[in-house]
Amino acid sequence: MSENRHVPEAPTRARWLAPGEQITAHHHDDHQIIYAGSGVLAVTTDAGTWVAPGTRAIWIPAGCVHAHRAHGALELHLLGLPTSANPLGFDAPTVLGVSPLLRELILACTRDPGGGSPEHRRLRAVLLDQLRASPQQPIQLPTPTDPRVRAVCDLLLNDPADGRTLAELGRQVGAGHRTLSRRFRTDLGMTFPQWRTQLRLYHALHLLADDEPVTTVAHRCGWSSTSAFIDAYRRAFGETPGVHRRR
């Protein structure tokens, strides 16, 4: 990422970002919960990119350099938490499941951030309780460091619908199937099929945010059929692409 800015305190507020708009790399002294009320949010660090539709939020620990990018018209909700209030104990960005209750709590706290009233403090206390109960549900594209893994990833980043096997891709980049398979696990912490699925879901979220039809998204991201895409999306996000679009 480019040179980062230091923003002393993580803000608590809601704001709109236009499609494609970015917030450049920066970091805060406080922890932050980032949530997309509409659209799709991508958060990038040196370690990779995390993606969050409306059923997910992203935890950013204090001091972590990160940048935002909007896909679709993004209603961005930023919730700052002091370092003394770390309900999750994570020291790296983490994608969390967002229940309907947690969603409403985030919206309420960020749309009316000012408030040291007893009611506001109770609201935040319930929000912290809900965060503690939120499961990790990552959609992440780790950044490869191995040159051979990076070469394969670059091919598929340019064309997520590319259906070639790892052995076929390996022949193009000059690496064997077994070597690449091992390198994907050690470099990215996941198998090649797992990484490809994450990539396709990542691109699918972008296309849905741009109002592409579900059938078009399935085709452009490499699923064999629209029903296969819908099933994969539901298993990943707990809802269908149609529900995501309506939100």
What residue segments make up the domains of the chain, in order of their start? 5-132, 144-246
The architecture of the domain spanning 5-132 is Sandwich (2.60)
Average pLDDT over residues 5-16: 85
Compute the distance between CA of residue 67 and CA of residue 1 in angstroms, rounded to an integer. Answer: 8
Residue 59 and residue 32: Cα distance in Å, rounded?
A: 6
CB contact at 8 A, 141 and 189:
no
H or E element at residue 187: helix 177-188
The proportion of the chain whose per-residue pLDDT surpasses 90, expressed as a percent, equals 58
Q: What's the pLDDT tens digit per position in 151-175?
A: 999 999 999 999 999 999 999 999 9
Q: Which two tokens stand for residue 39?
A: 């659209």
The pLDDT assigned to 115 comes to 66
Residue 33 has pLDDT above 80, yes or no: yes
**pLDDT of the residue at 55:** 85
Decide if pLDDT at 131 tops 80: yes
**CB-based contacts of 179: which residues, under 8 Å, 6+ apart?**
148, 170
The β-bridge relationship of strands 22-28 and 5-7 is parallel
Looking at residue 160, what is its pLDDT? 95
Residues whose CB is less than 8 angstroms from the CB of residue 188 and which lie 6 or more positions away in sequence, other chains included: 142, 144, 149, 195
Domain 144-246 is in which class?
mainly alpha
**pLDDT interval class at 52 (50, 70, 90):** confident
Examine the pLDDT at 85 and tell me if it is beyond 80: no
Per-residue HEC secondary structure of 92-134 comes to CCEEEECCHHHHHHHHHHHHCCCCCCHHHHHHHHHHHHHHHCC
Q: What is the pLDDT of residue 89?
A: 80
- Give residue 3's pLDDT: 66
Q: Looking at the predicted structure, is the pLDDT value of residue 133 above 70?
A: yes
Residue 242 — very low, low, confident or very high, per pLDDT cuts 50/70/90? Answer: confident
Q: Are strands 48-52 and 31-45 parallel, antiparallel or unpaired?
A: antiparallel
Predicted structure pTM score: 0.82
- Asked which of 115-124, 185-194, 223-232 is least confident by mean pLDDT, the reply is 115-124
Q: Give me Rg for the CA atoms of the chain.
A: 19
Distance (Å, whole) CA 95 – CA 59: 6
Confidence of residue 53 (pLDDT cuts 50, 70, 90): confident
Name beta bridge partners: 98: none
